[in-house]
Amino acid sequence: MKRYLILAVIVLFTYASQAQGTPYTWTYSANKISENVYELHFHVDLNSPWHTYSQFTPDGGPVPTKFTFAKNPLYTLDGKVKENGNLIQKHEAVFGVDVKYFNGKVDFVQLVKLKTQAKTNFSGTVEFMVCNDQQCLPPATQKFSIALN
């Protein structure tokens, strides 16, 4: 009987820890804004009180958000990834630098110009880190692929 009770407790804790999941959700999309130009959106929703860091967080601080795009001869990047969200900048004694981060929702946007009318995918990875006032999760990397039709 004790074995079944212990097994039930272990199973319960396993399901409870999996149900909590991650404190963020990434989504990816493309908006066609002209004949050969797409606006790519890398959107992250963060559960309160979690935040993620700007691409422009200085060295010595937490891991900044970083996009790496796969090479593709069918398109060119137009500018750099822009950040749209409620940017907060404050000095963090733990890191010894002024950090830049976002709470809630952040939309990272990249313009892409197709060289031809061919359908293709825009793919790559995003590396990021999320923290709250008590802890940081280890840096994570997610792959993405966005269809450009």
Domains present along the chain, CATH in parentheses: 23-148 (2.60.40.1250)
- Give CA–CA dist 38/113, Å, rounded: 6
Residue 115, pLDDT score: 95
Q: Hey, how many other C-beta atoms are within 10 angstroms of the C-beta on 51?
A: 23
Quote the pTM value: 0.84
Q: Hey, how many other C-beta atoms are within 10 angstroms of the C-beta on 24?
A: 18
How large a percentage of the chain has pLDDT more than 90?
81
Residue 15, pLDDT score: 34
- 3-state SS class at 122: strand
Q: What is the pLDDT of residues 40-85, one digit of tens each?
A: 999 999 999 999 999 999 999 999 999 999 999 999 999 999 999 9
- 3-state SS class at 2: helix
Q: What is the pLDDT of residues 68-79, one digit of tens each?
A: 999 999 999 999
Q: What is the pLDDT of residues 4-42, one digit of tens each?
A: 333 232 333 333 333 469 999 999 999 999 999 999 999
What is the identity of the amino acid at 27? T
Q: What is the pLDDT of residues 94-117, one digit of tens each?
A: 889 999 999 999 999 999 999 998
Residue 20, pLDDT score: 62
